[in-house]
Amino acid sequence: MSSTDHAAVHHVHRDDYGSRMGMWLFLFTELILFGGLFIIYAVYRFTHQTEFHLAAQELNTTIGLINTIALLTSSMTAAMSITAMQKGNIRFSKTLIWVTIGFAFVFMVNKYFEWGAKIHHGIYPGSKDLLAKPEGEILYFGLYYVMTGLHTFHVIVGVIFFLFILRQINQKKIEPTRYVRLENSALYWHLVDLIWIFLFPLFYLIH
Amino acid sequence: MANAAMPAEKLELSYLDVSTNKHKSGILSWILSVDHKRIGLLYFFSMMAFFIVAVTFGFLIRLELIAPGKTIVDAQTYNQLFTLHGIIMIFLFIIPGLPAVFGNFFMPIMIGAKDVIFPRINLLSWYMFVIGGLFAVISMLLPGGSADTGWMFYVPYSVRTNTNVLPALIAAFILGFSSILTGLNFITTIHRMRHPDMSWFKMPLFVWSLYATAWIQVLATPIIGITLVLVGVERILGVGIFDPALGGDPVLYQHLFWIYSHPAVYIMILPAMGLVSEIIPVFSRRSIFGYKFIAFSSLAIAFFGSLVWAHHMFTAGMSDTAQFVFSFITFVLSIPSAIKVFNWISTMYKGSIQPDPPFLYAMSFIVQFAIGGFTGLMLGALSVNIHLQDTSFVVAHFHYVMFGGTGFGIFAAMHYWLPKMFGRMYNLKVATWAWAIVTIGYNVLYFPMFIMGYLGMPRRYYDYLPEFQPYHVASTIGSWILIIGLIIMFTNLWVGMRRGQKAGMNPWGGETLEWKVQTPPILENFHDVPDVHAGPYDYSKYEAKKEATK
């Protein structure tokens, strides 16, 4: 490779294994980011057991369950889109990505109604009704909004990733022989799913 | 000088002349470049700009403290000065100092690679560094005044104060993200991009230390990220997670803060240790003593360093068992650091020492780091800690480690590697004088803080009792000597890099790969990667010669 050539000659290094490795490292950082919140949850759950118990009963388990099913299924369709790409079925791969995005919207719409109902009942950070409640319940709902909020932000980022992937498939930058970006986006999506798998029992199921 | 090794051979165009994008020259050919060497220089100049700002703040803090009562600024401004001094020095100078500047520039060359594995993410991390720095600047300029919380942002004060804490939090968060991206890039690069013949134990020790550092960056930084986000959310929405008025626990904040910020201390010091491990063999003409022990001690420091955070909080309220455990692990942690110091000294034994400026700075590092490390153990002892907590003894301790250690490490790196990066040599005599002045000024500045801290001078206080004044005066005079030394040092380097003599390929006689490529290096570092079978510190030819002349 000649480096005396003035044009853009910078060496393009393709290493799919390395790309996946970088993505896994990034996923570690995400896990630890949420890990900080899980520590805080554990500490306050320990110090305010009864109030967490009471506050948790105000969440709607059915909506939580629907969202869990939506995310788990979307993880499956994301994984299937990789297999479809590997097998050269680009059209089907794209359809599966759209289905994944569709499930993400189901999740977010549910979340919107859930948060909306809470806010309608006067339960949001800083509200009079919430501040009138015992400290443990203030903490519970504070954590509820922060943790599910941060998670929903990750859902949105995941959707943005998939929209980029769809564009790159159309531009032929992602093909059956080079699809590591699709794999990495799906890895990210599985992380979003995984974190929800922990949030769901912590907030909705443990009473 | 080993200039003779390279006769008047025609040099190829270097990375300074050839860009990676369509812009042949000008600012765009730099700020859009994905070449690891250019990104290293981008980091270098932006970091130096912030360093000058933070040194100025430090100078003003010292000037204020020359006499009791108000001298030049009021108490509120004083609080803002030490906060900004801390934030800028830590997040914008010491943390990126060695990894992002010299690591970016030299790590790929040292492992025989053409670039890092994710060049565009590398450039992105510089942009985040700049944006984070801009938020720090914004926090100074917006009405309301810059944050006055100290760099630790302790709640509940950081939630209540009306100063611009939010931009400062955003700055720290973005800078953390930048640091994570650099770490992620380095780990993957070291795993995937090494020259096929370069096994793990043929890597230079600087690369080992960057590897350990990168793991801390990746694994510890997210915790500070989420913690700062929570403080921000607390300020905007009043969620109550750390606010005792709403049931939150401020001590929990301190735990989360130090879970990152103690390992962050090792993000700062480990690369400097790696650098000293490079410099000592080169200037002693000796193979490094205990290569594997130095390599593994870096990993041990990274591991144990993650388990000692609560020793910052012994007086904050904790069970006796927790105090005992954290104190014990703190003592364990001193072992790998001591291993390194002993190995450096053993390397010099029977070497033929060449006291050039990089070596002199490395010597200052060892002495000052030893003082800083030992006083750290004193602070880690439970009984002593109660007496010394929140005194200027603590300030002296961490400045001995952070500035006397890492800061001098960065100066050593500049004297060691700038000739390679720019192709020109600075004036060695002036550099030696500057080293002497900086070292003297530094010690006159910080050593009195140990004494007055031991006598009871609290840290961060604006005012003090008259009996502390002699120490404060000495310390302030030290700050003037230090700044004079720094001005001489930087001027000498600046003039040297612009007008100095050509440096040649290997001015110091180093054996690692960066000394086997052209000065300044070409765009992708190598045409053919040189032989790496011998390992990084093969001085057997010098050692054999010395034996023969006995």
Interface predicted TM-score (ipTM): 0.91
Alpha-carbon distances of A175 from A30, A161, B233, rounded to whole Å: 28, 17, 42
Which whole number is the average pLDDT over B313-324?
93
Tokens representing B447 are: 């050593």
3-state secondary structure of B456: coil
Task: Say whether A22 and B18 touch across the interface (CB within 8 A).
Answer: no
Tokens representing B315 are: 């007086």
* Interface-testing mutation among B256, B523, B528, B529, with chain A (most A C-beta atoms within 10 A): B523
Give the whole-angstrom CA distance, residue B99 versus residue A36: 26
Residue of B nearest to A140 (CA): B241
Q: How many domains does chain A have?
A: 1
pLDDT given at position B18: 85
Give the whole-angstrom CA distance, residue B167 versus residue B137: 9
Task: Say whether B115 and A142 touch across the interface (CB within 8 A).
Answer: no
Give the whole-angstrom CA distance, residue B152 versus residue B262: 11
Q: Which one-letter amino acid corresponds to residue B536? A: P
Give the whole-angstrom CA distance, residue B161 versus residue B83: 13
Which among A11, A37, A142 has the least Cβ separation from residue B115? Answer: A11
pLDDT given at position B271: 97
Q: Is the pLDDT of residue B168 over 60?
A: yes
Q: Is residue B19 part of a domain?
A: no
Task: Say whether B117 and A138 touch across the interface (CB within 8 A).
Answer: no
Q: How many domains does chain B have?
A: 1
Nearest CA to B36 out of B97, B109, B133, B95 is that of: B109
Task: Say whether A126 and B233 touch across the interface (CB within 8 A).
Answer: no
With beta carbons under 8 A apart, name residues in chain B contacting A135: 240, 246-247
Residue of B nearest to A126 (CA): B238
Percentage of chain B surpassing pLDDT 90?
86
pLDDT digits (tens, 9 = 90+) for A162-173: 999 999 999 999
pLDDT digits (tens, 9 = 90+) for A107-141: 999 999 999 999 999 999 888 888 899 999 999 99
Percentage of chain A surpassing pLDDT 70?
94
Give the whole-angstrom CA distance, residue B55 versus residue B52: 5
Give the whole-angstrom CA distance, residue A189 versus residue A163: 13
Q: Kind and range of the H or E element at B542?
A: helix B540-548
Give the whole-angstrom CA distance, residue B254 versus residue B310: 8
Nearest CA to A186 out of A67, A91, A99, A64 is that of: A99
According to DSSP, the β-strands at B501-502 and B424-425 are: antiparallel
3-class secondary structure for B175-231? HHHHHHHHHHHHHHHHHHCCCCCCCHHHCCHHHHHHHHHHHHHHHHHHHHHHHHHHH
pLDDT given at position B497: 95
Q: Is residue B511 part of a domain?
A: yes
With beta carbons under 8 A apart, name residues in chain B contacting A125: 237-240
Q: Is residue A140 part of a domain?
A: yes
Residue of A nearest to B243 (CA): A139
Nearest CA to B445 out of B105, B55, B91, B97 is that of: B55
**CA Rg value for chain A:** 21
Residues 6+ apart with CB under 8 A from B449: B392, B393, B395, B396, B399, B457, B471, B475
pLDDT digits (tens, 9 = 90+) for A50-86: 999 999 998 999 999 999 999 999 999 999 999 999 9
Q: Is the pLDDT of residue B292 over 50?
A: yes
Q: Is residue B27 part of a domain?
A: no
pLDDT band at residue B9, thresholds of 50, 70 and 90?
low
Distance from CA of A25 to the nearest CA of B (A): 6
Q: Is residue A157 part of a domain?
A: yes
A–B CB contacts, 8 A cutoff, strictly below: 129
Q: Which residue segment(s) compose the domain that B222 sits in?
A: 32-548
Q: Kind and range of the H or E element at B382?
A: helix B382-388
Q: Which one-letter amino acid corresponds to residue B497? A: M
Distance from CA of A92 to the nearest CA of B (A): 30
Q: How far apart are the first and last CA of chain A?
A: 65
Task: Say whether B524 and A138 touch across the interface (CB within 8 A).
Answer: no
Handedness of CA A192, A198, A199, A201 (dihedral sign): positive
Q: Is residue B169 part of a domain?
A: yes
With beta carbons under 8 A apart, name residues in chain B contacting A131: 246
Which among B19, B222, B247 has the least Cβ separation from residue A32? Answer: B222
pLDDT band at residue A102, thresholds of 50, 70 and 90?
very high
Distance from CA of A32 to the nearest CA of B (A): 6
Give the whole-angstrom CA distance, residue A26 versus residue B107: 21
With beta carbons under 8 A apart, name residues in chain B contacting A4: 12-13, 18
Task: Say whether A29 and B180 touch across the interface (CB within 8 A).
Answer: yes
More confident residue, B288 or B528: B288
Q: Is residue B13 part of a domain?
A: no
Q: Is residue A7 part of a domain?
A: no
pLDDT given at position B25: 82
pLDDT given at position B423: 94
pLDDT band at residue B208, thresholds of 50, 70 and 90?
very high
Which whole number is the average pLDDT over B84-93?
95
* Interface-testing mutation among B241, B256, B258, with chain A (most A C-beta atoms within 10 A): B241
Alpha helix segments (H runs only) across B75-118: 75-87, 95-96, 104-110
Task: Say whether B222 and A145 touch across the interface (CB within 8 A).
Answer: no
Q: Is B326:B301 a contact under the CB 8 Å cutoff?
A: no
Q: Is the pLDDT of residue B431 over 50?
A: yes
pLDDT given at position A12: 62
Q: Does A164 touch chain B (CB under 8 A)?
A: no
Q: To the nearest whole number, what is the mean pLDDT of chain B?
A: 93
Q: Is B457:B394 a contact under the CB 8 Å cutoff?
A: no
DSSP B478-503: HHHHHHHHHHHHHHHHHHHHHHSEE-
Where b means 16+ CB within 10 Å and e means fewer, A32-62 reads bbbbbbbbbbeebbeebeebbebbbeebeee
More confident residue, A5 or B400: B400
Q: Does A14 touch chain B (CB under 8 A)?
A: no
Distance from CA of A148 to the nearest CA of B (A): 13
Give the whole-angstrom CA distance, residue B80 versus residue B487: 25
Tokens representing A180 are: 């590591």
pLDDT given at position B3: 42
With beta carbons under 8 A apart, name residues in chain A contacting B20: 8-10
pTM listed for this prediction: 0.93
Q: Does A11 touch chain B (CB under 8 A)?
A: yes
Give the up-direction half-sphere exposure of residue B537: CA atoms within 13 A in the CB hemisphere.
22
Tokens representing B123 are: 């450039």
Nearest CA to B210 out of B108, B139, B291, B310 is that of: B108
Q: Is residue B372 part of a domain?
A: yes
Q: Is A168:A174 a contact under the CB 8 Å cutoff?
A: yes
Q: Is residue A2 part of a domain?
A: no
Tokens 């890039």: give the residue.
Answer: B185
Residue count of chain B: 550
Which among B185, B193, B241 has the least Cβ separation from residue A40? Answer: B241
pLDDT given at position A11: 52
Q: Is the pLDDT of residue A9 over 50?
A: no
pLDDT given at position B24: 79
Q: Is residue A198 part of a domain?
A: yes
Kindly give the interhelix angle for B428-455 and B357-380, rounded to the nearest 10 degrees: 10
Q: Which one-letter amino acid corresponds to residue B394? A: V
Q: Which residue segment(s) compose the domain that A179 sits in?
A: 18-204
Handedness of CA B125, B127, B131, B133 (dihedral sign): positive
Q: To the nearest whole number, what is the mean pLDDT of chain A?
A: 91
In the beta sheet, which residues pair with residue B501? B425
Give the whole-angstrom CA distance, residue B368 versus residue B372: 6
Residue of A nearest to B226 (CA): A33
Task: Say whether A139 and B523 touch across the interface (CB within 8 A).
Answer: no
Tokens representing B34 are: 């994905």
Q: Is residue A123 part of a domain?
A: yes
Nearest CA to B40 out of B115, B91, B131 is that of: B115
3-state secondary structure of B524: coil
Q: Is residue A1 part of a domain?
A: no
Q: What is the CATH number of the domain that holds A179?
A: 1.20.120.80
pLDDT given at position A27: 97
pLDDT band at residue B2, thresholds of 50, 70 and 90?
very low
pLDDT digits (tens, 9 = 90+) for B446-497: 999 999 999 999 999 999 999 999 999 999 999 999 999 999 999 999 999 9
Task: Say whether B188 and A6 touch across the interface (CB within 8 A).
Answer: no
